[in-house]
Structure 1
């Protein structure tokens, strides 16, 4: 990794194994000159992400991998270090993410998956685009792009902690196809009305965190969170590097200055032994456990564990076992260059928590200030969705995103199978693309399979939506269901939220190669997003539109 020097950053080209290469050609190396503010506050990190797959690697194929300048965030005080080291190989890790395939309803009419409220993929990809390079395809998880934004789905008073609604529209991707948008809106709860919180801040202070986009930004994030604490809340701070240490025993939220003093004194040094630190965090959280309260560990790290147990599956299994204690696990990711996104996202998933990537003070305020209730408070656990498609009306379908959240059909009714949780105020969106019966789809018609001619078929429904969830700390799930009518509307007549969600999904698909975007190109995505920006209090949708423009400029396909 290098900092900024007086000379322009030079391009370094290297041939590597990239079986994950996207259809989009990689962007050329970008030379990004920092603004005066950035030049006085940011130590630049550079490099191109590479993925580490869980599945056996394919035969190596050469590719030219370009490196460019990178300014990860702004607003963090500090000074640029003059470094003259050559650009180094980037070791960021991402889980292999194969796009969901098209399914034939006659062969597999039921689709089952766990909901996901993580958003880290979007903010992590944002910092790459702002750095002037396209993300690796495995860094893009479509559902985390869609769920990064708030949607104003209608809510009704009910005994359930959330409302489910759907909308069916014409697909802009495939001729004659339809999109079924499923929207879940959780009841919002003001933070001051939430139960007592027992929080453990687990902070990585190893040498790998010695960068302005890492520990200094961690400290800013924890300061923002600390300011939200109530007197009844308790905070423990544990640091870990070559060893782990409780630097602040459980302390009341009323003693904010005491908490801030400890945060302000954190310094980076040593190797990274994350496994023992996680064990200590669970022990500490258990010792101050609040019955019927919020008991949560928040780890702040780049995920670069290099001492002790570093095996991915061992760490994930440990956190999955610990969640049975009633203590959830939230992962806050930081930094670039050696960032282990695969570990961060999967630990949060295993620990019944959520995963966010913090690339700026603005993002920190979004996650631990404006959305603190949804970050910390769970209103529904083990939320599963199962869609049964009607073979009389639907020929083919595909689920957009949620690749690493797929479940077996039998998992839906098994309350022992873990699934995603929904926090207070969260919105969750899922999209299916379907091909109605009688229309040409992705697959050729089967020579030997004939359509059923049964007169008992219901042709007024595309499918039947089932949803299961548990109330917090309950073991038995609750079932909700509703039919999906064949009534549909044109996309431009749909709600603004549905249209914007489709624009976001289209952008994510385009970054993954555009395999299912059909004739919808960059210009159409931009037009759709701009037309549905709507009320944008925190300018997140405006920022999204800018990212689409950056993606277009970096892509080999300019259409």
Structure 2
């Protein structure tokens, strides 16, 4: 029987700009929801509604956002504004962020502690055996200046490999191969030992990170989620990040894995195959392991003279209070080398007739804005900290009504189709009139060159999901 655990707030509501003109959220580069849902669908199972996090679906793909011209600012950002595919009266605003790239040899030294769940629940082929093969793909990328340690936990925690130079590939692979599943799970003790080893080999100005690989089924020792969160939060100030990698089905604790990564200034991915492991740990190693911007926050100030309503698509558990945008004590998401972050807002222009909220009975007079900003849809603002710094920097840019395209470009159409896919899996409530067939047709037309076939695979996944949903609907009738 499945004991998987998911936790996701309800979809973001539509906001009236006249009442709430400002929207603030933290960036998110996690992708675990996409690969977990993919595995469920390929197994012929419709995913639980709460397993679907739209922003993680969207951010599982690259959109070709332009990179910064220099490393003085760690990332570049841009916007695209165009009609929404599900209702041409509305608009989609895409915000794209791209971190600077570095070749592997130029990456800072790494201090990595693999924290491996070897409990009895990790016995199946899609858990510990896949985990060992996944980490084995990372090992050849390690260099002499890197340090690697391995901690295993099952009932009690133990050191499997003391901090070792990264170029001792044979020793690291041999330690991985010795890992065997058995026993119950004491995740809290494992995390404590992993952080202790990471501190022992701490590299100043390097990438210091604990990589927790588990199905998340903590059942011995520190089992209370609040206690685990406190444990990880206390270690965050040490400069050691926590990345979580989820494995397996049946007892996968998605909620805990994602939450710990967020608190630990890291990222969360779900590994459902060797190809996904290679993508996360080899192809995107720089972004996964090397942080170039901390506490990245996005704030959008909408112009009530231009925008009647808006809705942030996804990022429900990343929404911040507006006053926390400039509060440097408030934690937010991080961006790694080469990372892309993509966010979408659905916008209802004033006078479009597409409003979803009832008109206010006691509405005030038409908003008055200075002529100098009358042509702006919104002002986009970003705050970030450079690694090791406590004071944030501010970037801002207006989004002009004149920037609107007559039709969305390929990247925006793909992002919209992926958002539509997520919405259909969550019940199809937020994009009325956009059917499965229309979502799939939009995706099919926005596949582009698709060198790795990832978009073609996503279209096939949509068709598979449509069949499962339609079959379930016919059974219920």
Q: In structure 1, which of residues 224, 233, 237 is the aligned counterpart of residue 150 of structure 2?
A: 237
**2:429 is aligned with 1:495:** no
Indicate the residue corresponding to 2:36 in structure 1.
Answer: 124
Secondary structure class of the residue paired with 2:452: coil
Aligned length: 470
Indicate the residue corresponding to 1:511 in structure 2.
Answer: 425
Matches within 5 A, 1:114-513: 114-158=26-70, 159-440=72-353, 441-452=355-366, 454=368, 456=370, 458-487=373-402, 489=404, 493-513=407-427
Higher RCO structure (Cα 8 Å, ≥6 apart): 2
Secondary structure class of the residue paired with 2:87: coil
Mapped to 2, the partners of 1:517 and 1:396 lie a distance apart of: 15
Indicate the residue corresponding to 1:94 in structure 2.
Answer: 6
Q: In structure 2, which of residues 433, 441, 455 is the aligned counterpart of residue 527 of structure 1?
A: 441
Secondary structure class of the residue paired with 1:176: strand
Mapped to 2, the partners of 1:224 and 1:304 lie a distance apart of: 25
- How far apart are residue 526 of structure 1 and its match? 1.2
Mapped to 2, the partners of 1:333 and 1:295 lie a distance apart of: 20
- How far apart are residue 112 of structure 1 and its match? 0.4
Mapped to 2, the partners of 1:454 and 1:123 lie a distance apart of: 47
Question: Does structure 1 conserve the Cα–Cα contact (< 8 Å) formed by 2:305 and 2:369?
Answer: no
- How far apart are residue 150 of structure 1 and its match? 1.1
Mapped to 2, the partners of 1:290 and 1:522 lie a distance apart of: 50
Unaligned runs of 5+ in 2: none
Mapped to 2, the partners of 1:475 and 1:357 lie a distance apart of: 31
Mapped to 2, the partners of 1:424 and 1:252 lie a distance apart of: 23
Mapped to 1, the partners of 2:432 and 2:34 lie a distance apart of: 23
Deviation sequence 1:238-297 (CA, Å, 0-9, x none): 000011110110111111001101111110011000001101111110011000111000
In structure 2, the CA distance between the partners of 1:152 and 1:453, relative to structure 1 (3 Å rule), is closer
Deviation sequence 1:162-214 (CA, Å, 0-9, x none): 11000001012235111100000111112211111000000000101011110
Q: In structure 2, which of residues 3, 25, 35 is the aligned counterpart of residue 113 of structure 1?
A: 25
Matches within 5 A, 1:19-38: none
Question: Does structure 2 conserve the Cα–Cα contact (< 8 Å) formed by 1:102 and 1:396?
Answer: yes
Question: Does structure 1 conserve the Cα–Cα contact (< 8 Å) formed by 2:208 and 2:239?
Answer: yes
- How far apart are residue 134 of structure 1 and its match? 1.4
- How far apart are residue 456 of structure 1 and its match? 3.0
**More helix per residue: 1 or 2?**
2
Mapped to 1, the partners of 2:384 and 2:367 lie a distance apart of: 36
Question: Does structure 2 conserve the Cα–Cα contact (< 8 Å) formed by 1:168 and 1:181?
Answer: yes
Once superposed, which parts of structure 1, at least 4 consecutive aligned residues long, lie more than 6 Å away? none
Deviation sequence 1:7-58 (CA, Å, 0-9, x none): xxxxxxxxxxxxxxxxxxxxxxxxxxxxxxxxxxxxxxxxxxxxxxxxxxxx
Question: Does structure 2 conserve the Cα–Cα contact (< 8 Å) formed by 1:395 and 1:435?
Answer: yes
Pairwise CA RMSD of aligned residues? 1.5
- How far apart are residue 499 of structure 1 and its match? 1.2
Secondary structure class of the residue paired with 2:124: coil
Secondary structure class of the residue paired with 2:402: coil
Mapped to 2, the partners of 1:94 and 1:389 lie a distance apart of: 32
Secondary structure class of the residue paired with 1:112: strand
Secondary structure class of the residue paired with 2:113: strand
In structure 2, the CA distance between the partners of 1:283 and 1:362, relative to structure 1 (3 Å rule), is same
Mapped to 1, the partners of 2:368 and 2:239 lie a distance apart of: 50
Mapped to 1, the partners of 2:338 and 2:397 lie a distance apart of: 22
- How far apart are residue 494 of structure 1 and its match? 2.8
Deviation sequence 1:508-548 (CA, Å, 0-9, x none): 11111111111111111111111111122221111101111
Question: Does structure 2 conserve the Cα–Cα contact (< 8 Å) formed by 1:170 and 1:488?
Answer: no
- How far apart are residue 154 of structure 1 and its match? 2.2
Deviation sequence 1:42-86 (CA, Å, 0-9, x none): xxxxxxxxxxxxxxxxxxxxxxxxxxxxxxxxxxxxxxxxxxxxx
- How far apart are residue 452 of structure 1 and its match? 2.6
Mapped to 2, the partners of 1:203 and 1:221 lie a distance apart of: 12
Secondary structure class of the residue paired with 2:299: strand
Mapped to 2, the partners of 1:389 and 1:504 lie a distance apart of: 25
Question: Does structure 2 conserve the Cα–Cα contact (< 8 Å) formed by 1:168 and 1:487?
Answer: no
In structure 2, the CA distance between the partners of 1:480 and 1:265, relative to structure 1 (3 Å rule), is same
Mapped to 2, the partners of 1:386 and 1:490 lie a distance apart of: 23
Indicate the residue corresponding to 2:16 in structure 1.
Answer: 104
Question: Does structure 2 conserve the Cα–Cα contact (< 8 Å) formed by 1:298 and 1:331?
Answer: yes
Question: Does structure 1 conserve the Cα–Cα contact (< 8 Å) formed by 2:68 and 2:99?
Answer: no
Question: Does structure 2 conserve the Cα–Cα contact (< 8 Å) formed by 1:397 and 1:434?
Answer: yes
- How far apart are residue 479 of structure 1 and its match? 0.1
TM-score by length of 1: 0.82
- How far apart are residue 490 of structure 1 and its match? 5.3
- How far apart are residue 487 of structure 1 and its match? 2.5
Question: Does structure 2 conserve the Cα–Cα contact (< 8 Å) formed by 1:173 and 1:516?
Answer: no
